[in-house]
């Protein structure tokens, strides 16, 4: 069965709140007026993965003197990183302990960069609070956490379960909720501002040539040289790093069934008048009749000491209330009014927002928009060399969970690229990265993994039959 490829990013997209304060330096930026004819390394995509790969190249002596060009189809950070929920929240019991440890390490790496460079991206260290709205869902979670206690007690110690109604109230959760988990090591942030800070620094340091509004329409290869075709001409390189996530199959058609674009809905909502700051970041599983494999998710912006300090409730999800298709959709120029209406009304029923809510049917939206996720067929990111495409590397397919993965996935790809250039065997490099906890084994791209993934149900079937719990955070 042939799966349809993703389209290229649409030239016009819905207006993300995160883009309401665009970088004047980056908007419309082209480091050189002409597209360079060639480069040592070309990165496609300027979100958290692409910017991280560029940063780790800049920090590595082995890449000193190399020309690095980044191509972006739209403005810088205008894809999923500039459109997501603002979470940097590790999932500690949903997958393996190895993945949980990697995500914790990833969140720590992001926070360390923010602290070291004093990045004004509204970073807030919070507990991750996931609410479960049926007994069966909570029982499944309890089994997963019990298993985690046996395989990795240290990570399990960072997860607690709340079922007591008074305790739920302390976390501002409606007592109708069956129970919730609290996990340590989470953060919330303005993702676009983090990425724009990284990119601005790399460009002003003379390390990166960024070319915005330069979509790659095709990659052709001859011997050890790849040619990236764009409407502005071509650029040749021996090494390509694809940080294209949900759009990957537009350039690598063989991945059409492995990384599938999925459209998600987001909103920035004004909180009720005289309400106060919520204590956590939130995920809602099975709330208000939503399917359990499509979480809702929430962080809150500050009420003070930041530009535009309105305490916006950054709330996403509502996929079960939507009326438009989402799986296999790579067009983020459309809002699903069903999902948008759900998001405006749901928080008043799920949480105790405080303030003046009497008679309030829904919250006022400051912005509503959509973004494109990349769902992985086996529910793990794909990181490494693209099989049978010497010199083409990939990090993507985060299944809505890119912020606690993209930074160190970008670093792992850089380690592989530079290590291979030194003459090292990629397989040995991957084993070394896995052994040191710098990349989960389940993320590594291999022909064997592709074969195993293709034995699974398609992303569309998995979603329809609720086989995997997935959410865009």
Residue 469 has pLDDT above 80, yes or no: no
Compute CA 430 distance to the chain's CA centroid, rounded to the nearest angstrom.
23
Q: Collapsing DSSP states into helix, strand and coil, what is residue 60?
A: coil
CATH code, domain with 145: 3.30.9.10
Predicted confidence at residue 130, as pLDDT, reads 97
pLDDT in tens, 152-176: 999 999 999 999 999 999 999 999 9
Residue closest to 373 by CA, chosen among 446, 317, 307: 317
pLDDT-based confidence at 293, cuts 50/70/90? confident
Residue 471 predicted with pLDDT over 80: no
Q: Do 346 and 238 share a structural domain?
A: no
85-89, 224-228, 289-293, 469-473: range with lowest mean pLDDT: 469-473
318 vs 3: CA distance, rounded Å: 26
Does residue 467 have a pLDDT over 70? no
Q: Which of 318, 342, 375 is the last residue of a domain?
A: 375
Q: How many CB atoms lie within 10 A of CB 101?
A: 17
Q: Are residues 213 and 238 in the same domain?
A: yes
Residues 311 and 222 in one domain: no
Please check whether residue 271 lies inside any domain of the structure: yes
Cβ burial of 435 (10 Å; 0-12, 13-18, 19+) is: exposed
180 within domain boundaries: yes
On the CB side of 185, how many CA atoms lie within 13 Å of its CA?
A: 22
In-domain check, residue 121: no
Crossing angle of helices 135-151 and 97-117, in 10° steps, is: 90
- Does position 465 have pLDDT exceeding 90, yes or no? no
Residues 281 and 168 in one domain: yes
Q: Is residue 101 part of a domain?
A: no
Confidence of residue 468 (pLDDT cuts 50, 70, 90): low
pLDDT digits (tens, 9 = 90+) for 110-161: 999 999 999 999 999 999 999 999 999 999 999 999 999 999 999 999 999 9
Residues 279 and 161 in one domain: yes
Among 375, 407, 441, give the residue marking a domain's end: 375
Give which of 279, 270, 272 is closest to 354, Cα–Cα.
272
pTM assigned to the model: 0.97
- Determine how β-strand 239-242 pairs with β-strand 41-44: parallel
- Residues of 397-417 as b/e, b for ≥16 C-beta within 10 angstroms? bbbbbbbbbbbbbbbbbbbbb
Residue 470's pLDDT is what? 44
Task: Give the list of residues 6+ apart from residue 115 with CB closer than 8 angstroms, or none.
Answer: none
At 413, which helix (H) or strand (E)?
A: helix 406-421
DSSP-assigned letter for residue 456:
S
Structure tokens at 351: 């949480």
Asked if residue 265 and residue 255 are part of one domain, the reply reads no
CATH number where 58 lies: 3.50.50.60
Question: In degrees rounded to 5, what are phi and psi of residue 289?
Answer: 80, 10
- pLDDT at residue 83, as a whole number: 98
Q: Are 254 and 377 in contact (CB under 8 A)?
A: no
Q: pLDDT digit string (tens) for 210-264?
A: 999 999 999 999 989 999 999 999 999 999 999 999 999 999 999 999 999 999 9
Average pLDDT over all residues of the chain: 96
- Token digits of residue 32: 């050189």
**pLDDT at residue number 473:** 40
Closest C-alpha to 311, from 361, 358, 268: 268
Q: pLDDT at position 235, please?
A: 98
Say how many domains are in the chain: 2
Task: Tell whether 92 is covered by a domain.
Answer: no
Same domain, 421 and 434: yes
Taking only the tens place, the pLDDT of each residue in 7-18 is 999 999 999 999
CA angle 137-138-140, nearest 5°? Answer: 65
Q: Are both 265 and 346 inside the same structural domain?
A: yes
State mean pLDDT over 412-432: 97
- Domain match, 265 and 288 both: yes
Q: Which of 335, 355, 375 is the last residue of a domain?
A: 375
Q: Which of 190, 191, 205, 198 is nearest to 55 (CA)?
A: 198
- Domain holding 52, by residue range, is 17-82+192-260+378-464
Sorted by sequence, the CB contacts under 8 Å of residue 363 that are 6+ apart come out as: 269, 270, 271, 272, 313, 344, 345, 347, 348
| φ/ψ of residue 8, rounded to 5 | -70, 160
Confidence of residue 1 (pLDDT cuts 50, 70, 90): low
What is the pLDDT at residue 294?
86
């Amino acid at each position: 069965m042939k799966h349809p490829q993703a389209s290229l990013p649409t030239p016009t997209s819905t207006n993300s709140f995160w883009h309401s304060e665009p970088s004047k330096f980056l908007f419309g930026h082209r480091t050189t007026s002409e597209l360079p004819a060639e480069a040592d390394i070309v990165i496609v995509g300027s979100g958290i993965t692409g910017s991280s790969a560029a940063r780790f190249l800049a920090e590595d002596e082995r890449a000193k003197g190399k020309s690095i060009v980044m191509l972006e189809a739209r403005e810088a950070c205008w894809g999923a990183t500039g459109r997501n929920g603002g979470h940097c929240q590790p999932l500690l019991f949903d997958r393996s302990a190895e993945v949980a440890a990697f995500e914790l390490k990833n969140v720590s790496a992001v926070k360390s960069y923010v602290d070291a460079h004093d990045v004004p991206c509204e970073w807030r260290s919070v507990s991750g609070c996931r609410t479960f709205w049926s007994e069966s869902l909570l029982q499944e979670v309890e089994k997963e956490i019990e298993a985690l206690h046996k395989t990795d007690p240290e990570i399990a110690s960072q997860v607690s379960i709340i079922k007591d109604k008074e305790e739920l109230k302390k976390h501002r959760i409606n007592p109708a909720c069956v129970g919730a988990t609290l996990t340590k090591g989470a953060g919330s942030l303005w993702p676009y501002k983090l990425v724009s800070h990284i990119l601005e620094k790399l460009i002003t340091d003379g390390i990166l040539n960024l070319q915005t509004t330069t979509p790659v329409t095709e990659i052709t290869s001859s011997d050890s040289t790849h040619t990236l075709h764009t409407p502005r001409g071509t650029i040749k390189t021996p090494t390509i790093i694809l940080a294209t996530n949900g759009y990957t199959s537009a350039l690598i058609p063989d991945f059409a069934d492995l990384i599938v674009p999925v459209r998600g809905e987001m909103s920035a909502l004004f909180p009720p008048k005289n309400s106060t700051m919520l204590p956590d970041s939130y995920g809602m599983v099975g709330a208000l009749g939503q399917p359990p494999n499509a979480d809702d998710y929430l962080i809150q912006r500050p009420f003070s000491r930041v530009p535009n300090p309105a305490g916006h409730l950054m709330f996403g999800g509502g996929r079960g209330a939507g009326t438009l298709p989402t799986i296999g959709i790579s067009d983020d120029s459309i809002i699903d009014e069903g999902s948008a209406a759900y998001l405006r009304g749901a928080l008043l029923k799920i949480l105790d927002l405080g303030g003046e809510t009497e008679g309030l049917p829904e919250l006022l939206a400051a912005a509503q928009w959509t973004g494109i996720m990349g769902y992985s067929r086996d529910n793990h990111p794909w990181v490494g060399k693209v099989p049978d495409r010497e010199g083409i590397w990939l990090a993507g397919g985060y299944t809505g969970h890119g912020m606690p993965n993209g930074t160190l996935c970008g670093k792992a790809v850089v380690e592989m690229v530079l290590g291979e250039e030194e003459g090292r065997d990629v397989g040995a490099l991957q084993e070394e990265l896995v052994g040191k906890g710098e990349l989960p084994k389940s993320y590594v791209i291999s022909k064997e993994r592709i074969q195993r993934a293709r034995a699974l149900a398609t992303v569309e079937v998995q979603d329809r039959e609720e086989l995997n719990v997935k959410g865009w955070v």
